[in-house]
Structure 1
Amino acid sequence: MLILASQSPTRITLLNNAGLRFTAMAAPIDERKAEHDALTQDSNRAALARSLAEAKALVVSRTEPDAMVIGADQTLDFDTREIHKPVSRDQAAAQLMAIAGTSHALHSGVALARDGRIVWSTVESAILRFKPFSRQTLDAVLDLEGDAILGSVGAYRLEGPSLRLFEAIEGDYFTILGLPMLALLDALERHAPEVF
């Protein structure tokens, strides 16, 4: 049995597109507390993405011991600021205007757990550069995006109209979407071939 410890529509779609049969369930953790605890040990945003992915996989694995559990999380690294999923359009607009014309990194952590222990984890990163853009341009994109941007750590969706805001991208598309699929599929083949 394969479980995705997430209700993320994007991650669910990625696993479905890969032809995997799985169950999706939310990982019952306080992400801000887990983030705070992890950052007291290491301020590295990439390491934090991995730690949060492992925490999600472990918490579900402890209640579903026979299953292979996928945990995933993503952090955004920009100018030492803590940036999270926005709670409103205004907050999304403020975040995006603050990083217009600059680069930032997205770190996507993914982990596999079975029987209450981590059997594999990794983190992959991508660098994204925004064009300089006006508030008018941003408002037009946000109108097209609607509430979908509230589900993204960066307040944008590369698979949506937000793509108009970008100048350059270095890195794996799946990493940007929040689930490094190539590394994950390779790990599943090695650690849980029965799920294929």
Structure 2
Amino acid sequence: MELLKLKKLPKLILASASPRRAEILKAVGWEFEQCIANVDETALPNEKPEDYVARLAKMKAEAVARNYDEAFILGADTTVVINGEIIGKPVDLDEARKMLKMLSGRWHEVLTAVALIEKRNGSKNLREGLQKTKVKFDEMSEEEIEFLVREGNPLDKAGAYAVQAQAALFIESIEGDYWNVVGLPINLVYKLVNRFNEHSVKKFR
């Protein structure tokens, strides 16, 4: 399949403050601007994890889309799930410690929802997708957990860990998309853009 001529498409706006998502886009050579979306990330009562991340990704994209007339706006949200329970970002180091103890020696899922809004010629279209990856930590000692709490900067990360940083020392297995665990399933994003591309790329070449 021919690669998209991305520079010929409307500009991509990343509706996220995440440095990990920005790094992934930079790594594949995708030109973008970053715009922070301020949304309430509180889960609704009895909300399923899949619905939770999908709702937040869409809210982020829509909040930022209001500021642009013509653009691709990319919203994404990532959470960790274990036994059906949403494990978001810890509020403090004590909660980070509890999260890592919960994940120790067990499988969990990482869910990332992606919402891509295209605004062009006065119209607005939405494409959405969801990626799931399974991750298993080693059984970690108290000292190893304290190391991650102290050195892993856990407070801005779902599940209190970053797979591409210190936590990699203790991750036994990953089943699925690695980049999804980092925070952005770039293959899924590319496929969503390709769906828009079927209708618009010829006009922007």
Q: TM-score range by the shorter chain?
A: 0.7 to 0.9
8 Å Cα contact 1:58/1:118 also seen in 2: no
The residue that corresponds to 1:136 in the other structure is 143
Partner of 1:22: 32
**Superposed structure 1 runs of 4+ greater than 4 Å apart:** 192-196
Equivalent in 147, 153, 163 of residue 158 of structure 2: 153
CA shift for structure 1 position 133: 1.3
- Could you tell me which of 163, 178, 182 is aligned with 1:177? 182
Superposition TM-score, scaled by structure 2 size: 0.83
> Counterparts of 1:130 and 1:176 in 2: how far apart (Å)?
13
**What fraction of aligned residue pairs are identical, expressed as a percent?**
28
User: Which of the numbers 118, 123, 129 marks the counterpart of 2:130?
Assistant: 123
Q: Which runs of 5+ in 1 are unaligned?
A: none
Mapped to 1, the partners of 2:81 and 2:178 lie a distance apart of: 17
Alignment of 1:1-196 (within 5 A): 1-32=11-42, 35-36=43-44, 43-115=47-119, 117-145=124-152, 147=153, 149-191=154-196, 193=201
TM-score normalised by the chain length of structure 1? 0.87
SS of residue matched to 1:49: helix
- CA distance in 1 between counterparts of 2:76 and 2:100 reads 24
Displacement of 1:134: 1.2
Deviations 1:49-74 (A, max 9, x none): 12211111111112213111000001
- Cα deviation for residue 195 of structure 1 reads 8.7
Larger of the two Rg values belongs to structure: 2
Shift in Å at residue 88 of structure 1? 2.1
Note the aligned Cα RMSD (angstroms). Answer: 2.1
Instruction: State the AA in 1 paired with 2:141.
Output: S
Unaligned runs of 5+ in 2: 1-10
Q: Distance in 2 between matches of 1:88 and 1:4?
A: 27
Contact 2:75 2:115 in 1 (8 A): yes
